[in-house]
Amino acid sequence: MSVPTAPTTAGTSTRPYLIRALHEWCTENGFTPYIAVHVDATVRVPAEYVKNGEIVLNVGFEATSSLKLGNEFIEFKARFGGVSREIAVPVTHVIAIYARENGQGMAFPAPTADVAAGGPHLALAEEAPQQGSDRDPTPEPPTPGRPTLKRVK
């Protein structure tokens, strides 16, 4: 007698859906959505803004152009130091999304070595300036008394 097998229930990752939901929550409440990103060869961001293998990006509509919060990548154009750049972040590399004003949001596990090595490789953005948005997504440094997101392991 054979035992019936259960259907696969793994489904797709919830991470892109949670990122979109928290982005929408920030926007609707007048907050500025920021994402913290683990940077490796699969992430396309300005290398000069990466610190300790991470970068924090303002993904608010006022700071970005052509923002796409997809299931695989977050893509947009933004200005860094007055230079327009194309940004592409694999959703697996988003380690947090939060509101700049109060630090509320959600943290995610950093990508594992097999996830980081398996995706399509994108170079760190070191492109020539392009036409585009004149908004600057570079986050402001935290000021005393302002809440910040802290990862707890």
The domain spanning residue 83 has which CATH number? 2.30.30.220
Q: 124 vs 26, 46, 76, 89, CA distance in Å?
A: 28, 6, 14, 10
Residue 50 located in a structural domain:
yes
Residue 89 located in a structural domain:
yes
In tens, the pLDDT along 93-137 reads 999 999 999 999 999 998 886 554 544 444 444 443 444 444 455
Residue 65 located in a structural domain:
yes
Q: Enter the pTM of the model.
A: 0.70
pLDDT at 60 over 80: yes
- Helix, strand or coil, per DSSP, at residue 122: coil
* Number of domains forming the structure of the chain: 1
Residue 22 located in a structural domain:
yes
- Helix, strand or coil, per DSSP, at residue 87: strand
In tens, the pLDDT along 23-57 reads 999 999 999 999 999 999 999 999 999 999 999 99
Residue 33 located in a structural domain:
yes
Amino acid 11: pLDDT = 79
Neighbours of 152 (CB within 10 A): 4
CB 85 within 8 A of CB 77: yes
pLDDT at 141 over 90: no
Residue 90 located in a structural domain:
yes
Residue 3 located in a structural domain:
no
Instruction: Provide the residue range defining the domain that includes 76.
Output: 15-118
Measured CA to CA, the distance from residue 49 to residue 35 in angstroms comes to 14
pLDDT at 140 over 60: no
Measured CA to CA, the distance from residue 117 to residue 136 in angstroms comes to 30
Residue 136 located in a structural domain:
no
